[in-house]
Amino acid sequence: MPRRSSPKVRTGCITCKIRRVKCDEAKPSCNKCTTTGRTCDGYATQPYATPLSSGLRLHVSEAEFRALDFFHRNVASAIAGSLNADLFWTHTVQQASQREPAVRHAVAAISSLYECLGTARSPHRNTFALQQYNRAIAELVTATPDEAVILFVCILMICVELLQGDIKAAINHCRHGVTILNKSSVLPTTRDLLLPIFCRLSISPYFFASSSPPMFSLLAGLKLPDDDFARHSNLNTSQLRSALEVLTYRGARLMRIGIESRRSDSPILPDNLSEQRQLRISFQHWSAAFQRFQDSPAAATMTQTCTLLEVKRLIVGIWIDCALDPNESSYDRHIDTFRSMVNLSATVLESASPPPAQPRRSKFTFEMGFLPLLYFVSVKCRCLYTRVAALRIIRSLSASRENLWDADSSFRIGKRIVLLENGVDVDGLDLGVSWEEGTLWQPPEERRLLDLVMEPGVEVDADGVGWRVASGLARGNGGKLMLLRERVEWEGSGVGSSDR
């Protein structure tokens, strides 16, 4: 008589699920992992048995149900990016959309906007998405939900604006969300869920024109890696990522403060120097913890995740070290680090599936991946070979759009910077040639851009072509600051929502 099959166990830690072994489900780390020298990657929230509950059909239209189903089946995992450690999009959003009408309408808008990316349907003319967006807002106004729902919907609204290419609106939503979160009295569990997301969301705006530090409140409650963190023996990738994002956020903010100081020709304040010292110490603590994780057996199964964390670690170290330096030549101290970042990124590209010749795996990710990191290399590394190599990887390795960043626009602006600083056209450059170090590699200080930020919004000409503007700051002969504005074609599928 055949043995009766038992139902599959869907609980257990992430590591045991990957290894296909039964987990003892001890908390916070299971004994199955810790006793075998592995790192327990924690527990995921269980998804619903079906993408959408059947009862939902009683409360939504057929079009809404289709959009929600498309989101849960196709969109959530795509926009989450490669480091979906907190399972926010694939699990938490799915659950909330079945409980909260405002969340449901916002998710339907995201689904519709994502579906029409790369098609002839322009996102900012998507009538269905606009209706769902407005219904989400109406629910917030009429239903007077608690702060947790407001913050949750705020994150979804940021995603809507990113999909539409409305950078200014996305930044404003983020700024308001940070203000609400800092003053809110939400439950600790809710705050623990939302704080890392707003931390990551608050990084990109510092590279765009409308968000200097005084306009963006510092997120309260973020803890920098300390000595205890460095000594922890069972950290997982989710914990490492969250701690690194705090360093990334604080490092980007400090760098923006340094740039604003250059713009106004004002001295660096003692508090800023103290912040830099603290970040350097915390960076060393995180690096020690990450090195311990890389030496563990668990790291062998997470090669791409570890590579992305390492590339982020390297760039954060550069940000912290150079943030308050008045000269662009300070970045020359990190030529070898820039090269390491490009080489690590290249290894991910070589192992990518499908091959680079095929279309990108994702047309949009809510989280930042390799795109802004490689773009920063192309802007700040004055080794010509390295910065050009970074540019050539950008459009193959990254998603078409990552958060506020657009791959094609970043590539074009990077090319323009190389032409301005090195006097070299990237398109006609042979990377197979072995160059000697000299003026071609390191342009003089007066030819280097001190700052370059993307201005919010997209200009649309009479032919319907969208253009993005980047404003740069350079120190010419005699040390006088000069403002430069570069206009590049934007091939995003939507041109913003200024007409909404």
Question: Is 116 a residue whose pLDDT tops 50?
Answer: yes
User: Is the Cβ–Cβ distance between 63 and 53 less than 8 Å?
Assistant: no
State the residue for tokens 């590539």: 411
Characterise 325 by phi-psi region: left (phi > 0), alpha (psi -120 to 50), beta (else): beta
Q: What is the pLDDT of residues 105-114, one digit of tens each?
A: 999 999 999 9
Q: What domains, with CATH codes, occur in the chain?
A: 1-43 (4.10.240), 202-301+322-326 (no CATH)
Question: Is 334 a residue whose pLDDT tops 90?
Answer: yes
Least confident range of 196-200, 237-241, 396-400, 483-487: 483-487
Q: Which whole number is the average pLDDT over 263-275? A: 90
Question: Is 331 a residue whose pLDDT tops 90?
Answer: yes
The pLDDT, as a whole number, for residue 431 is 61
pTM, entire model = 0.80
User: Is the Cβ–Cβ distance between 403 and 365 less than 8 Å?
Assistant: yes
Whole-angstrom CA distances from 45 to 11, 146, 242, 267, 317 are 9, 22, 18, 49, 33
Residue 181's contacts (CB-CB under 8 Å, 6 or more residues apart) are: 151, 191, 194, 195, 198, 219, 220
Question: Is 54 a residue whose pLDDT tops 60?
Answer: no
The pLDDT, as a whole number, for residue 209 is 64
pLDDT bucket at 1, cuts 50 / 70 / 90: very low
pLDDT bucket at 385, cuts 50 / 70 / 90: confident
pLDDT bucket at 496, cuts 50 / 70 / 90: very low
Q: What is the pLDDT of residues 285-314, one digit of tens each?
A: 999 999 999 998 888 888 888 998 999 999
User: Is the Cβ–Cβ distance between 435 and 385 less than 8 Å?
Assistant: yes
Counting beta carbons within 10 angstroms of the beta carbon of residue 478, is it exposed (0 to 12), middle (13 to 18) or buried (19 or more)? exposed
Q: Which whole number is the average pLDDT over 266-281? A: 95
The pLDDT, as a whole number, for residue 442 is 75
- Pick the most confident of 70-79, 197-206, 279-288, 398-407: 279-288
Q: Which whole number is the average pLDDT over 413-423? A: 85
Q: Which whole number is the average pLDDT over 329-358? A: 82
The pLDDT, as a whole number, for residue 44 is 52
Question: Is 124 a residue whose pLDDT tops 60?
Answer: no
Q: Which whole number is the average pLDDT over 320-330? A: 93
Q: What is the pLDDT of residues 64-96, one digit of tens each?
A: 989 999 999 999 988 987 665 568 898 889 888
Least confident range of 66-70, 83-87, 188-192, 410-414: 83-87
Query: Sign of the CA dihedral 285, 290, 291, 296?
Result: positive
Determine what percent of the chain is predicted with pLDDT higher than 90. Answer: 38
Q: Which whole number is the average pLDDT over 430-456? A: 67
